Structure 1
Amino acid sequence: MRRVRGEAFLTLALLNIFVLITGFVALDVIEARPLPAVPHPVTNAEGVAAAEPASSSPADPERIADVLDDPMSAFGLAEGLSGFVVDGATGATLFERDADAPVTPASTTKIATAVTILDTVGPDHVLTTTAHFDSARGMVVLRGAGDTTLTTTVDSAAYPQVATLEELALRTAAALGAQDVDTVSIGYDDSLFTGSALGPSWKPNYVTEGSTAPVHALMYDSGQVSPDTSTRWPDPPLATAEAFVNELKQAGVTVEGTPGEAPAVGDPIASVDSPPMSVLVEFMMLESDNNMAESMARIAALETGGEGSFAGGAEATHRVMADLGIEGVEVADNSGLSTENRITPHALVELLLLASERPDLNAAITGLPTGNSTGTLAKNGRYSAYGSTGDAAGMVRGKTGTLNGVSTLAGTVHDQEGNMFVFAFMDNSPGASGVRLDTLAAALARCGCS
């Protein structure tokens, strides 16, 4: 998991450096933004050159409808498909098909989750994992704060530098040494989150197949057992406490017994901080990390006096959506694994536009995967040069969503004339697949739509 996460963070870092160099910061084509944007990124890993745009002019809705009609007909996309496309510069509606129909969003739910946490705690917020010493019991208690990027040992080449149990153990050992303590027992406190560890309507195989770990405030590597397998720990807090024991022993502390649940009391004697929330959001979006999404929802709930549970996270999301004036978002979980979630294409597009306009929400945009280059749009041959959508590689950025009978894609795309569109396509049908939706975004990318 550390290696996978390190590669993802490095990819994200390189992408963001490119974004800053080119001036393509989120949706900079929005007229309210101060700097002009380069028409589209050129992050095509297989060398398909992004087309040079002609002079940009307003897109024609009839032309948009025409170019989308062919792939919809070719793939039999009719019943179950809904969509919404707007002009990124003006917000003008260019295409709508049942755009206000609430449908199962799968992982495009994470767009709402990203906006919720950023609006609630801000982009600079960090999550602090702590160690507490109970001198009466001679026990060090490890307390989780919802940082699923917590890992075991330092990787000096990783970007950014995430919190590690190794560093926490070294700091704990130093604090214990200052009190002439060299032998302790270990407890762990996972009480920050409450309620069920499995979400509403989650299938039992979500954990066994590795889509997610049970949701806890204390876990490392998103509950993944090793970098080479998708297997998740059945008890992430215990696994994390055991890993902490190993690091404490390496730091020279004698540990007696095995870890057990115990409340953290008093001030911490040592702590480690996560990267800032903006970076966590970008990674969550890029890799579609389910455990991180659920953790963020609970943090948002707790920040506003709610409960750190699935219900609390959903309530926090609904409250933020209401405050922002976004209609059409109803969630039971925040990762999108629940089939009870309902979001409209219109709402997804509104959220992306809002994130482009507010700097504190920009991470919801900068974390979008890029076709054939980063995150979930670099997997399973999506926008590969060997497929029918390869010419749109690097020009489509979007959050993906996949469940049985559900495929969704929401993001941004540039056409051949320099226009940028913000879109959401959502297919709730037995034959739903990402490849089918990729053809719609690719049709927009190759369009001369004026």
Structure 2
Amino acid sequence: MRENSPGDVPNPENDGLPEPVRAAGVGDEDSERGWTLSESGDDTGWTLSDSEPFDLKPQDAWAPSGETRMDEPPLTAETATVVAIPPVSASASVGAHFLEGDIGAPASASRGDGPPRPLTHRSGGLGAMYARNPKAWLIAASVAVFAVFGSGAVVLGVAVASPAEGSPAAVAALSEGSTPTPTVTTPPPRPVPAAELPASALRTCSVAGLLGDSRFGTLQAQVLNAATGELLFERDPATASQTASSMKVLTAAAALNVLGPDFRASTKVVAGAEPGTIVLVGQGDLTLSRLPTGQEPVYTGAAHLDDLATKAKAAYEAANPGTPITKIVLDSNYFSGKTWGDTWPPTERGTGWLSHITALQVDADRANPQVFLSPRGEDPIGRAGAAFASYFGNVPTEQGTAPAGAAELASVSSQPLSVLIPQALIPSDNSLAEMIGRHVAIKLGLGNSIDAIAAAIPQGLQAYGIDTSALRTADASGMSRNNAVPPSYFTQLFLKINAGEGHLAIIRDGLPVAGQSGTLNYSNRFFGANAVARGHIRAKSGSISSAYTLTGIIDAADGSTLIFAIYATGKVGSGARTAIDTLATGFYKCGANLSNT
């Protein structure tokens, strides 16, 4: 499939794509009414509601005649729930009570009919006091006990009268003139609680009302706070699923690590094995243009074939005066194996989304070098050879291999990788992504075929310190349905991309921006009520028949920065794009107050 249907047109201003295909269209009832994410009134949440008609002029033109803007009915969802959890207040009541009963009672209480018989005492002293006023003695004793146990006071010995006959001695007599020595005890250290982390603020802005949209198919998502790494929202983020063109972000990150931002692909001409023969050697620069120097192709700043031919002719004539060039050999062996992925739909060549991947070709084999979605052919090597031969009197060409150690006559190089990555990401250029992926595999020594990419991309990503064990890589562009990456891998990588770790700022600055550039500037993206998020979301979109994705960075309405990934997979259609955009807009409005409910 493709990022957008051929009828989808970029917005007229700053579209980021050269000469888009445009088609007149008609609207449907969806163009009359829309769905609006609005504040719920208490500043704590957002409400999905049926909105007033909105003006889609310049977007109305995207759908061809007879085609509706969305292939499914408008979104029907309950109002987004605002989860307001009241603070939990807990109070602990501390009570104190006295145990009733005889506390060391010295009285010998008779269980007979008469009153208790007090102990006999010497005249004076505590015994007499007790005898005279037992209630007062008990009160004083209670106070003393409370003081001993409540305040930790040291009890000094007191001489009391001898107990009655038959009663055990309870007090040890101190020798006259002796000084008691208190026993010093060190209490065990009191446990000190570990430092408490500050409680997370209660987040109250819910997008729950948007999650039931049937256009999602199977929804997976994750949102992180870019400043803190805090998880704000997730739905099954650890399951590896189809990525569609979001895979290009992984290819770009691996390439920046393995190749470096200054890497350039080249094309050269060397002397042939026979007199009058030269060899055009493709070394994996699909951006090389057959347009005359001074005319810009889709790939702005690309090398030009006429420049290479002029240099090669001058060098050949200087080395072989009087011997004309009579044959050109075309060497495309820098890449090997199949030129088309097993699961790539052949229709993508006709619609202009992908070319056969060969090491020698011009303008990524477009019929029109200046139109992004121009149809691709069936023989990219032959097209490049014919264009080059036109500078040498259209001499015959044949495919072959350059002689070992052949003298180089001339060469030209592509733009650096730092320029190629935005050229691949913004319009979602599949051929360019596949070219970059092959170079990663070659640099790592894993091979030069599409099959080598399966190991090359995960290996190239290991330097970022994110577990790659769940990744399944089938190609570099995301065209294959056999690619599988967890949404959580994208959010972890985008934390580093947003921070500009290593050379990853090149990806951050080379992403499409909602309503402003590339695939996020088509009229079927962020229209209607979702237009509020235009200019605030930079992300990579993905669209194949079984998966629609969007992952990147949100500059939220509250000033926070969010990292997000949204997948809609399974039984999905193009309407999944609008469902994804609506959810992303909800994230934008909630910002750091986004709830996981």
TM-score by length of 2: 0.62
Deviation of 1:129 after TM superposition, in Å, equals 0.7
Task: Quote the residue 1:83 is aligned against.
Answer: 221
AA of the residue aligned to 1:104: Q
AA of the residue aligned to 1:318: P
Deviation of 1:446 after TM superposition, in Å, equals 2.3
Task: Quote the residue 2:522 is aligned against.
Answer: 379
Task: Quote the residue 2:259 is aligned against.
Answer: 121
AA of the residue aligned to 2:338: S
AA of the residue aligned to 1:338: S
Please tell me whether residue 143 in structure 1 is matched to residue 281 in structure 2: yes
Please tell me whether residue 208 in structure 1 is matched to residue 340 in structure 2: no
Deviation of 1:355 after TM superposition, in Å, equals 2.7
CA contact (8 A) 2:16 2:427 kept: no
Task: Quote the residue 2:361 is aligned against.
Answer: 219
CA contact (8 A) 1:184 1:256 kept: yes
Please tell me whether residue 447 in structure 1 is matched to residue 590 in structure 2: yes
CA contact (8 A) 1:106 1:403 kept: yes
CA contact (8 A) 1:8 1:283 kept: no
CA distance in 2, matches of 1:224, 1:61: 54
Task: Quote the residue 2:335 is aligned against.
Answer: 193
CA distance in 2, matches of 1:186, 1:368: 40
- Among 108, 117, 122, the alignment partner of 2:246 is 108
Task: Quote the residue 1:97 is aligned against.
Answer: 235
The CA deviation string for residues 74-117 of structure 1, in whole angstroms up to 9 with x for no partner, is: x3366510011111112221111110011111000111100111
CA contact (8 A) 1:200 1:333 kept: no
Task: Quote the residue 1:321 is aligned against.
Answer: 461
AA of the residue aligned to 2:240: P
SS of match in other structure, 1:191? coil
CA distance in 2, matches of 1:78, 1:117: 32
The CA deviation string for residues 348-391 of structure 1, in whole angstroms up to 9 with x for no partner, is: 1122222333242222221110011111111143124xx22111
Please tell me whether residue 360 in structure 1 is matched to residue 499 in structure 2: no
Task: Quote the residue 1:349 is aligned against.
Answer: 491
SS of match in other structure, 1:342? coil
Deviation of 1:405 after TM superposition, in Å, equals 2.7
CA distance in 1, matches of 2:269, 2:547: 42
CA distance in 2, matches of 1:8, 1:367: 18
Task: Quote the residue 2:417 is aligned against.
Answer: 277
SS of match in other structure, 1:389? helix
- Among 533, 543, 546, the alignment partner of 1:402 is 543
Task: Quote the residue 1:232 is aligned against.
Answer: 376
CA distance in 2, matches of 1:301, 1:207: 24
Task: Quote the residue 1:55 is aligned against.
Answer: none
Structure 1 window deviating more from structure 2 (216-225 vs 352-361): it is 352-361
SS of match in other structure, 1:260? strand
Deviation of 1:154 after TM superposition, in Å, equals 1.8
How many residue pairs were aligned? 392
Deviation of 1:237 after TM superposition, in Å, equals 1.0
CA contact (8 A) 2:360 2:380 kept: yes
Task: Quote the residue 1:71 is aligned against.
Answer: 210
CA distance in 2, matches of 1:63, 1:234: 56
User: For residues 414-433 of structure 1, what are the structure 2 equivalents within 5 Å?
Assistant: 414-432=555-573, 433=576
Deviation of 1:140 after TM superposition, in Å, equals 1.5
Task: Quote the residue 1:20 is aligned against.
Answer: none
CA distance in 2, matches of 1:242, 1:157: 20
Identity %: 28
CA contact (8 A) 2:278 2:325 kept: no
Task: Quote the residue 1:391 is aligned against.
Answer: 532
Over 3 Å counting, the alpha-carbon distance change for 1:111 and 1:82 in structure 2 is same
The CA deviation string for residues 14-68 of structure 1, in whole angstroms up to 9 with x for no partner, is: xxxxxxxxxxxxxxxxxxxxxxxxxxxxxxx98xxxxxxxxxxx9968435x1x2
The CA deviation string for residues 247-276 of structure 1, in whole angstroms up to 9 with x for no partner, is: x24xxxx4432x110212313211111110
Over 3 Å counting, the alpha-carbon distance change for 1:414 and 1:429 in structure 2 is same
Deviation of 1:204 after TM superposition, in Å, equals 2.8
SS of match in other structure, 1:177? helix
The CA deviation string for residues 309-340 of structure 1, in whole angstroms up to 9 with x for no partner, is: 11112211121234433333211111111111
CA contact (8 A) 1:9 1:283 kept: no
Deviation of 1:427 after TM superposition, in Å, equals 0.6
CA contact (8 A) 2:218 2:569 kept: yes
Deviation of 1:233 after TM superposition, in Å, equals 1.5
Deviation of 1:191 after TM superposition, in Å, equals 0.3
CA distance in 2, matches of 1:366, 1:8: 19
AA of the residue aligned to 2:256: L
Please tell me whether residue 296 in structure 1 is matched to residue 440 in structure 2: no
Q: Which one has a bigger Cα radius of gyration?
A: 2
SS of match in other structure, 1:287? coil
CA distance in 2, matches of 1:198, 1:8: 35
SS of match in other structure, 2:333? coil
Over 3 Å counting, the alpha-carbon distance change for 1:131 and 1:196 in structure 2 is same
Q: Which runs of 5+ in 1 are unaligned?
A: 1-6, 13-44, 47-57
CA distance in 2, matches of 1:241, 1:295: 19
AA of the residue aligned to 1:427: A
SS of match in other structure, 2:326? strand
Q: Which runs of 5+ in 2 are unaligned?
A: 1-11, 18-56, 59-198
Deviation of 1:144 after TM superposition, in Å, equals 1.0
SS of match in other structure, 2:286? coil
CA distance in 2, matches of 1:210, 1:59: 50
- Among 292, 299, 311, the alignment partner of 1:171 is 311
CA distance in 1, matches of 2:344, 2:296: 36
AA of the residue aligned to 1:136: E
SS of match in other structure, 2:239? coil
Over 3 Å counting, the alpha-carbon distance change for 1:169 and 1:271 in structure 2 is same
SS of match in other structure, 2:283? coil
